[in-house]
Amino acid sequence: MTTTNPIETPQESGLHVLGQAALALDELYQRIGPRFRRSEARNRARRFLEGLLSPVERKNGWQMAEALGERGPRGVQRLLGEADGDPNAVRDDGRASVLAHLGAEAGVLVVDETGFLKKGKKSAGVARPYSGTAGRREHGQSGVFLL
């Protein structure tokens, strides 16, 4: 007769969370995959979702492309901007997935934009808009966060 230890080790707990994340990723892909008409875009969408959950430090076009095993960012950019599919349906499917997993009657979804001050000329997308972070127009980038 074998008994199981009711207390999970940190490693077992981490594996459990990874297993749940993999199942949620599969479920999301099952929802959005059919929205892409071409198999190439469907496959890239799947890999892109995996990349979003990967330990890639910055989720920009180049680094996501590297994580996907691609030579450059063009494929990722095409997926996000030009893929032959229905972006509104993908958005709606993503929303439905979030509601199914996280929805609660008293739940709150927070969208927050913040600025990142930048110096120099090596950061992509730097402009001189008003920055609440600086309290004036300043070189920087904006980021939008969802929680």
Residue 106's pLDDT is what?
Answer: 81
Q: What is the pLDDT of residues 110-126, one digit of tens each?
A: 888 887 787 766 776 67
Which residue ranges make up each domain of the chain? 10-106, 110-147
If you compute the radius of gyration of the chain from its CA atoms, what whole number of angstroms results? 19
Q: At what angle do helices 74-81 and 39-52 cross, to 10 degrees?
A: 100
Amino acid at residue number 90: V
Any alpha helices (H) in 33-130, and if so which ranges? 39-52, 61-67, 74-81, 87-102
Q: Note the pTM of the prediction, 2 decimals.
A: 0.62
Instruction: Mention every residue, 6+ apart, whose C-beta is less than 8 A from residue 141.
Output: 115, 116, 118, 123, 125, 126, 127
Is the pLDDT at 100 greater than 70, yes or no?
A: yes
